[in-house]
Amino acid sequence: MGRIYLGEFEELILLTVGVLYKEAYAVAISKEISKQADRSVNVSAVHKSLYRLEEKGMLKSMLSDPESKRGGKRKRIFIITAYGKKALDESMDLRMSLRKQITDLSLKW
């Protein structure tokens, strides 16, 4: 078992969950992503990733209070776990270190 595997979209979701601290639920996340990354994300795709990340142990969740704007239903709020943070850090580090290894020469054209 080498490094923790984290897909690109999963990473995006994970980051967004971190950004929306305590307000991170599926609808908000999908809106945040479309706002920040300028890509439209369907809510079902977000659901899928969130549950997957929870199963992997990178997120944990609890239910909020009921809200009227959603027909009196509760929402599931997600929070990053320590393991999730570790996963993010590793992937960031990897990208940064690779980026730093690119010589300026190869970027001159």
Chain positions contacting other proteins, by CB under 8 A: 1, 25-27, 42-45, 47-48, 51-52, 54-57, 60-61, 63, 67, 69-71, 73-76, 83
CB of 29 to other proteins, least distance (A): 10
Q: Which is nearer to other proteins, 39 or 108 (CB)?
A: 39
DSSP 46-105: HHHHHHHHHHHTSEEEEE---BGGGTTB--EEEEE-HHHHHHHHHHHHHHHHHHHHS-GG
Nearer to other proteins, 35 or 100 (CB): 35
